[in-house]
Structure 1
């Protein structure tokens, strides 16, 4: 059995990895590791780097076969602030695979709070009057009225990672 180190203990992200990879073939090791980026990533580049760092840090810390990092952030466009999400898969042979996910705009009152320096998760807890939105449905779940929640979004990204990894491994290639 291969060991997959998941660079988080966030239930939504751990559930996404477990949903994609066969439980019979893998042992899952969720672990809290640093993303080595800001606690609120503020661009696609920073969010992607956070996912890669989480995957690498988890792989190294657990001496696993595969490390997976999933990171949520925001990115500023001419049309306002948007959610962005990235994932990365690394293995002990040096493969680094990444993929991005869904994008939706944030309402202006939420965006203004994030632009002022607050983390989106904290803003969402206040905005909804709920606790730990980031570990449950996430902002994506709130703003899609439950059609897509945080686990669904990260399942999609994890499928993109797994598919690329299988393709590149079968063809003896690795990509950034």
Structure 2
């Protein structure tokens, strides 16, 4: 188990949110989204949780399943949290080419769930070719753009927008949208 239980964690402390990944971008955007949405501070930690899908999910169904699995597997590993968040990036293709997106899946301590999807953007042909050959998108970006571990930084979206939209900003909005049922419990 890669998550260390905090001996001093008390119920009166900030609410605990577990992200089913150790990726610092996913952790920081989750913390920012929860803080903005609820207008209070949260303790947000990352935990290695299996997605149960290939390293590079393809299509909505597989990508959403990866996000769900990360959230539920995080809950299984550390059931004392208040929320569990799965974030899974995927790719798909249409007549225009290959595009990227991510699914967010959230579970609360009562078992209530919600989900949201990011916007999509098209991937350059050189990157798409590597992904089609089985390479994960972040590694393909690193190869084509001569970067190192870009998925733990601005990601593909950051590279392609020249930093105007980085991975943190890209995920943050979708996390806030996935929080709508938790912000409006009387309506959901």
* TM-score, normalised via structure 1 length: 0.91
Q: 1:150 aligns with which of 167, 178, 187?
A: 167
CA contact (8 A) 1:72 1:83 kept: yes
CA contact (8 A) 1:59 1:65 kept: no
Q: Cα deviation per residue 1:55-107 (whole Å; 9 max; x = unaligned)?
A: 11112211112100111111111211001111010123221101000211111
Distance in 2 of aligned mates of 1:137 and 1:164: 28
* TM-score, normalised via structure 2 length: 0.86
Partner of 2:57: 41
Q: 2:136 aligns with which of 106, 119, 130?
A: 119
Q: CA deviation at 1:27?
A: 2.1
Distance in 2 of aligned mates of 1:114 and 1:131: 17
The answer for unaligned runs of 5 or more in structure 2 is 1-13
CA contact (8 A) 2:118 2:170 kept: yes
* 4+ aligned runs moved over 4 Å, structure 1: none
Mapping of residues 6-17 of structure 1, within 5 Å: 6-17=19-30
Partner of 1:31: 47
Partner of 1:59: 75
The answer for unaligned runs of 5 or more in structure 1 is none
Q: CA deviation at 1:25?
A: 4.4
SS in 2 for 1:46: helix
Aligned length: 171
Partner of 2:17: 4
Distance in 2 of aligned mates of 1:55 and 1:82: 24
Tell me if 1:132 matches 2:149.
Answer: yes
